[in-house]
């Protein structure tokens, strides 16, 4: 997976199937949330779309790929892609930029269609989670993993 391919604004249109978006911030994607998104995508025979929401400070142009942030997100995007491929799913990982996580989501939602959204509660503020629920263009699941279950999810994804 190349860094440049992660920044494309429009998905590969050859796949006309359903799409399950898994947005995350801060360079981390909770393994419990990833495992849940994989289960949803498998049940719906959908493409898994893990998307890192990269916050670009005001002093930089909005389309600036900040190498440090991309480097922090890459291991999580690659792990999500590998887990999805192991589960037999099509995976379309990406990076979306914005001034805030919700701005990045808004940009992503305006450019692409998703059939389900599985958002991790960890990584978003309560205000951002509320915004996601109010503005999401489709059915949305916000998942706050039980720490006791996290260990089992790590084993299932690995």
3-7+18-157: in CATH 1.10.10.10: no
Strand-pair category, 116-120 with 19-24: parallel
CA distance 86 to 24: 21
| Residue-level pLDDT, tens digit, the chain, 158 residues | 444 345 444 444 334 489 999 999 986 888 999 999 999 999 999 999 999 999 999 999 988 868 888 888 899 999 999 999 999 999 999 999 999 999 999 999 999 999 999 999 998 999 999 999 999 999 999 999 887 765 665 566 55
């Amino acid at each position: 997976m190349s860094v440049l391919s992660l920044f494309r604004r429009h998905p590969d249109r050859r796949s006309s199937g359903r799409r399950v978006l898994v947005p995350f911030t801060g360079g981390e994607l909770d393994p419990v949330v990833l495992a849940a998104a994989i289960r949803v995508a498998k049940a719906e025979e959908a493409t898994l779309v893990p998307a890192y929401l990269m916050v670009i400070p005001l002093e930089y142009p909005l389309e600036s790929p900040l190498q440090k942030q991309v480097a922090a997100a890459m291991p999580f995007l690659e792990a999500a892609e590998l887990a999805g491929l192991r589960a037999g799913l099509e995976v379309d990982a990406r990076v979306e930029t914005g001034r805030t996580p919700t701005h990045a989501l808004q940009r992503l939602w305006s450019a692409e269609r998703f059939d389900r959204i599985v958002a991790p509660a960890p990584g978003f503020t309560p205000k951002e989670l509320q915004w996601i629920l109010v503005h999401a263009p489709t059915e949305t699941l916000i998942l706050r993993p039980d720490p006791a279950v996290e260990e089992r999810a790590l084993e299932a994804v690995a």
